[in-house]
Amino acid sequence: MRMEVLHVSPELAAKWLTRNTNNRPLSKNTVQQLADQIQRGEWQLTHQGIAFDEDDVLIDGQHRLAAIVKAGLTVPLTVTHGVPRTAFTVMDTGRKRTGRDALALAGETNATHLAAALRGLHLYLHAPNSAWSGSSSVTSNDQLLVMLEKHPGIRDALSHGIALNRACRITVTAATIGWYVTTEARPDIDQSSWQDGVITGARLEPGDPRLTLRNTMLSLAAGKTHRRHDDSREHLLYYLKSWNAWVEGRTIKLLRRSPNETMPRISNQSTAALADSDA
């Protein structure tokens, strides 16, 4: 690698941005914040600047360059050439590279929802009964990419998670994980009637687990309870409790979470009626 310090004008910054052919989505807020710092005279030269890979493609610093263009002022900048392209997941930039950014750079669609689902799946598999918040829940970008490689079926599960979220406001993360882990554990079950029931609630009797899950999620979304409406761990717990009751042919009229309740395991039972209906 080769490093140099250059005074970068708005014109040069704009030229270099044309080499930004495969970078993360640009944050307008971050660009504005950096441009304001430049215009206030707060810009300082540091080791952090911009970087080009072996093919002279810009892989780091797009926010700094866009801010220079926006501010219309020339500033000193550290420029590094020949950085290995594979280093993008561990780079620090003007804006912290998120899981969404890493997945978008890898060519994934719905990167925001996919990152959240992969993070939740990692916690479900490795710390299902811990709080899904705080420093202990942090998942690195590399961990997300490894999870995706190990669990490629999460991509398909995401489409089901989005559909369920639109219908009953269960979080996309919870619905995606719920769909993925149940289909992986029970490939013998056709889940189309499960999804249809939760989405529409049509012709379902009181106590049907699908209707109970649907109504519980809608009540949370409407603020009819004091519980959080966006707690993915709690939503997943309700999803799995309802799903287990459905495959076992049990009714369930109320979903609640007891203090210190552990995440349900996926049922290995099935009723004859369910097997017949899904045949």
What CATH number corresponds to the domain at position 45?
A: 3.90.1530
Which tokens in the block code for residue 230? Answer: 């966006």
Q: Evaluate whether residue 8 is within a structural domain.
A: yes
Same domain, 129 and 39: no
Same domain, 115 and 87: no
Question: Dihedrals φ, ψ of 78, to 5°?
Answer: -80, 125
Question: Domain total for the chain?
Answer: 2
Angle, to 10 degrees, between the axis of helix 154-168 and the axis of helix 209-221? Answer: 70
Q: Which of 96, 126, 146 is the last residue of a domain?
A: 96
Rounded Cα gap, residues 133 and 116, in angstroms: 12
Q: Evaluate whether residue 145 is within a structural domain.
A: yes
Same domain, 149 and 193: yes
Give the pLDDT score at 270: 81
pTM of the model: 0.69
Please identify which residue in the block is written with the tokens 């009953």.
Answer: 168
User: pLDDT tier at 90 (50, 70, 90 boundaries)?
Assistant: low
Same domain, 166 and 268: yes
Residue 213 CB partners (closer than 8 Å, separation 6+): 168, 170, 198, 238, 239, 242, 255
Q: Evaluate whether residue 23 is within a structural domain.
A: yes
Lowest mean pLDDT among 8-17, 85-94, 211-220: 85-94
Residue 147 CB partners (closer than 8 Å, separation 6+): 118, 121, 122, 154
Q: Which of 65, 96, 127 is the last residue of a domain?
A: 96
Residue 56 CB partners (closer than 8 Å, separation 6+): 19, 81
Same domain, 116 and 91: no
Please identify which residue in the block is written with the tokens 């780079």.
Answer: 91
The predicted-structure confidence for 210-269, as pLDDT tens digits, reads as follows 999 999 999 999 887 666 778 999 999 999 999 999 999 999 999 998 888 899 999 998
Same domain, 148 and 229: yes
Q: Evaluate whether residue 127 is within a structural domain.
A: yes
The predicted-structure confidence for 130-139, as pLDDT tens digits, reads as follows 878 776 677 8
The angle formed by the CA atoms of residues 174, 152 and 177, to the nearest 5 degrees, is: 10
Give the pLDDT score at 105: 85
Q: Residue 276 pLDDT more than 60?
A: no
Instruction: Identify the domain containing residue 65 by its residue range.
Output: 2-96
Same domain, 82 and 188: no
Q: Which of 67, 96, 125 is the last residue of a domain?
A: 96
Same domain, 62 and 177: no
User: pLDDT tier at 271 (50, 70, 90 boundaries)?
Assistant: confident
Same domain, 251 and 226: yes
Same domain, 158 and 44: no
Q: Evaluate whether residue 149 is within a structural domain.
A: yes
Same domain, 150 and 57: no
Same domain, 117 and 246: yes
Q: Please, what is the average pLDDT of the chain? A: 89
